Amino acid sequence: MFRYCKIIVASALAAVGISMPAACSKGNNAGEDEDKLTVAVSIPPLASVVEEIAGDKADVVTIAKADVNPETFELTVAVHKSLADADMFLMLNVFPFEQSLSANLKNVRVADASVGVERLYGTHSHHHHDDDGDEYCEGHKHENPSAADPHVWTSVKNMRLIAAAVAKELSVADTVNAPLYQQRFHELDARLDSLDAALARQLDAGNHKSFIIWHPSLAYFAHDYGLDQIAIGAENKEMSVKQMRDRIAQARRAGSNLFLLQSNFDNSQTANVLAELNVDTLTINLLTPDWERQLSILTDAISR
C-alpha cells in the first residue's frame, strides 16, 4: 500500500472513531523514518536515479550489487526477505531476475522504469567472420538472438527517459511530495542533457571511433555517439587458436586503441588478446551508482 492510500484509509477510520494501528501508517510528517517510501530497485545505476529524485523521502534497496553480473544473477531467500516491506519495485525489465521477481512479488507495486526506451537488437551476441567468410557466433548461455540488448542504462539519453519514469512512479506513490519529485527530476534531467552534449562534443572531436571490449555491454553508448563496439569475447567458452586470431585481426582492422576490461566480469581470457595488441587498457564497472563518472572516464579514454 502506498502512503496516499494509507492516509485516505486512516481518515475514513478516524471519522467513525476507530484509530489506525501505528504499524499500518507511514505518518504525516515529512522527514520521519516511518513516513518514507521503501523502494526496491534492480541495479545500482537505477538506485542512483531514485535516490537523486527522492532524496530523503525514500529508502532504496538495491537487489543486484555492483560486483555481480546481473545477467546471471540468481535470487536468494535473503533477497525476497529484503522486499517484504517494500512499497514498490522499480526495474528495467531487461534481466531474468527482474522478471522472476515481478512475477512473484505480492502486495508490492511493480513498475518498469524503462518505458519509452528504444531497445537495440543484434548487439548482444558475438558474431564474427572467419577468413573464409563463414559466420560463427559465441553467445551467452541464456542468450536469445532475438532478445534486446539489456544494457539500457549505458546511454545518457536512455537514463533521461528512465529518470522521467522514476519521477512519475514516485509521484503516484507519494502524492504529497510529488512537486518535490518533479522539481528534482527536472534538475537531474538538465544535468544529464548537459552531460550528453559534452560527451558528444568530446567524442566528435576525438581521433578514435571504436573500442574493444570483452563483453558487449556498451552498444547503447556506442549507438548514441556513432562509435564501433568490437566485442571479442567468447562467453563462458575457451577460444580456439583460429577464433583468437580472427578476433585480433578484426580489432586491428578497426584501428582501435583501447581495450575495456570490466571489473564485474571474468577477464582471465583477455591476456592472450592483449599480448597481441598494442593498445591501452581501461578497467571500468558499468554497474556502479556513479555510472555518469564511468561514462565520462570512458569518453576521455576513447577520445585521446
pLDDT attached to residue 109: 94
Per-residue b/e over 146-159, b at no fewer than 16 CB within 10 Å?
ebbbbbbbbbbbbb
Give the span between the Cα atoms of 108 and 127, in whole angstroms: 40
Structural domain including 7 reads 3-125+150-194
What pLDDT is attached to residue 172?
97
* pLDDT value at residue 149: 94
Within a domain: residue 132?
no
44, 176: one domain: yes
The pLDDT score that the predictor gives to residue 139 is 33
Please check whether residues 15 and 59 belong to one and the same domain.
yes
Query: DSSP secondary-structure letter at 36?
Result: S
For the chain, strand residue ranges (E) read 37-41, 58-62, 88-91, 109-112, 126-129, 135-138, 210-213, 228-231, 258-262, 280-284
The last residue of a domain, from among 172, 194, 216? 194
Rounded Cα distance between 225 and 218, Å, is 11
- In the chain, the number of structural domains is 2
**59-88 b/e (C-beta count within 10 Å ≥ 16 → b):** bbbbbbebeeebbebebeeebeeebeebbb
Q: Same domain, yes or no, for 221 and 112?
A: no
Cβ proximity of 172 and 110 under 8 Å: no
pLDDT at 215 (0 to 100)? 84
Of residues 136, 126, 129, 80, the one with CA closest to residue 105: 80
Same domain assignment for residues 76 and 220: no
Residue 133 lies in a domain: no
Which CATH number covers residue 29? 3.40.50.1980
Q: What is the pTM of this model?
A: 0.81
pLDDT tens across the length of the chain (304 residues)? 444 444 333 343 333 333 333 333 343 334 445 689 999 999 999 999 999 999 999 999 999 999 999 999 999 998 888 888 899 999 999 999 999 999 988 889 999 999 999 999 987 654 444 444 433 333 333 344 458 999 999 999 999 999 999 999 999 999 999 999 999 999 999 999 999 999 999 999 988 888 999 888 999 999 999 999 988 875 555 667 787 788 788 888 888 889 998 887 766 667 777 878 888 999 999 999 999 999 999 999 999 8
Residue-level pLDDT at 40:
97
What pLDDT score was predicted for residue 254? 81
Residues 80 and 119 in one domain: yes
Q: Do 118 and 239 belong together in one domain?
A: no
